[in-house]
């Protein structure tokens, strides 16, 4: 992995960079759609490429459950398996320690899960998570971490930081993926001193890049923004900074202003499947009866497949009839919207005008009540 900061915006902390990985270059700041089980639902690799997708995020825990890391390896590795020739990041499964807490038991060695598929037992610790990701063959693999819930006590947050650092050391030792970058993750909930303590210890382990975790677990936009603003500048300027699981436009653009480079979220595709489109003037609900005879595209000036060929009225019809094409088209639009937003952000940074761009974009986006993310 090679990361180069190419432009720093003097108006704020935003920056452009080039992240060179075995399967291509990612121009940052950049957003990744989520392909949890090696697929962005309903959208082919070719369509993702047309949308401007530079990299994807897949999940090691879910792929280990089905079809199994060894099966993916026998079928040529994750890139060949899913027909995606560009960079891939794999999440370690640490988030599932949080999201599937009712199905697991956590110790310093790792987490024992009961499979949501068939109830079978599965143990996932830092060594296991790293080995799975090495076998899958992603360009970037994530250290195994513990994400505490929100709200949580200071004692709970301290325990999660201690365990995250402990597991980070094991991941660093166990990592054997040739050409694969390994990123460490910072936890600490909403406690700034714990965030700073975790950063110091994770930096001491030494990673190729660093992620801010645990800031999309219900803490709310203002608190989330405060934690990102505090944590991002503590991370090395010469390494890529990754904000995990954050995916609504205001959150992304404000984090870019703090110097964050990489983002991922399920929001574009998930909202698309639920008939909600992102536009520069906020969210658009396509199931509403007011769209039934609307001849306009989702967004004027958008170059995505849905906006080039179809009207809001047609999309309203597809959702009302339960046709699968509706969720696919709106998901394509949303993913393209995110990439257009990031392309414009990169141009603004290179021009030294990111702060003004961000303010103007959010002013338009938040003017509609349902644009508040």
Residues annotated as catalytic (active site), given as ranges: 91, 264
- 119 contacts: CB under 8 Å, gap ≥ 6: none
Closest CA to 329 of 339, 321, 318: 318
DSSP state of 92: -
Q: How far apart are CA 292 and CA 281, in angstroms?
A: 20
Sign of CA dihedral 165, 171, 174, 178: negative
Distance CA 286, CA 121 (A): 42
φ, ψ for residue 241, nearest 5 deg? -115, 130
Distance CA 320, CA 310 (A): 16
Provide the β-strand partners of residue 212.
186, 243
Distance CA 102, CA 97 (A): 9
- Give dist(CA 66, CA 69) in Å, integer: 8
Which two three-digit tokens encode residue 228?
């990102």
**Do residues 217 and 149 touch, judged by C-beta distance below 8 A?**
yes
């Amino acid at each position: 992995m090679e990361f180069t900061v190419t432009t720093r915006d003097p108006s704020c902390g935003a920056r452009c960079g080039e992240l060179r990985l075995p399967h291509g270059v990612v121009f940052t700041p950049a957003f990744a759609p989520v392909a949890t089980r090696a697929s962005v639902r309903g959208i082919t690799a070719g369509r993702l490429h047309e949308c401007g997708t530079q990299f994807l995020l897949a999940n090691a825990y879910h792929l280990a459950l089905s079809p199994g890391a060894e099966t993916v390896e026998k079928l040529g590795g994750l890139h060949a398996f899913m027909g995606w020739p560009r960079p891939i990041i794999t999440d370690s499964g640490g988030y599932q320690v949080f999201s599937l807490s009712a199905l697991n038991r956590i110790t310093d060695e790792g987490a024992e899960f009961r499979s949501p598929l068939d109830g079978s037992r599965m143990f996932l610790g830092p060594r296991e998570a790293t080995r799975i990701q090495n076998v899958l063959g992603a360009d970037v693999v994530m250290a195994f971490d513990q994400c505490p819930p929100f709200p949580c006590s200071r004692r709970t947050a301290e325990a999660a930081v201690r365990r995250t650092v402990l597991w980070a050391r094991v991941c660093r030792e166990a990592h054997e993926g040739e050409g694969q970058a390994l990123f460490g993750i910072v936890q600490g909930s909403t406690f700034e001193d714990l965030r700073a303590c975790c950063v110091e210890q994770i930096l001491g382990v030494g990673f190729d890049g660093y992620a801010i975790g645990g800031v999309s677990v219900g803490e709310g936009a203002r608190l989330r923004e405060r934690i990102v603003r505090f944590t991002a500048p503590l991370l090395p300027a010469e390494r890529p900074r990754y904000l995990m699981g954050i995916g609504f436009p205001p959150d992304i653009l404000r984090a870019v202003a703090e110097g964050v480079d990489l983002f991922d979220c399920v929001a574009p595709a998930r909202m698309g499947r639920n008939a909600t489109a992102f536009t520069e003037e906020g969210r658009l609900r396509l199931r509403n009866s007011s769209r039934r005879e609307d001849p306009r595209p989702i967004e004027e000036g958008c170059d995505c497949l849905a906006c080039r060929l179809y009207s809001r009225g047609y999309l309203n019809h597809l959702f009302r009839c339960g046709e699968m094409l509706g969720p696919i088209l709106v998901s394509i639009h949303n993913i393209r919207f995110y990439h257009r937003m990031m392309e414009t952000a990169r141009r603004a940074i290179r021009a030294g005008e990111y702060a003004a761009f961000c303010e103007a974009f959010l002013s338009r986006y938040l003017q509609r009540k349902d644009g508040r993310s």
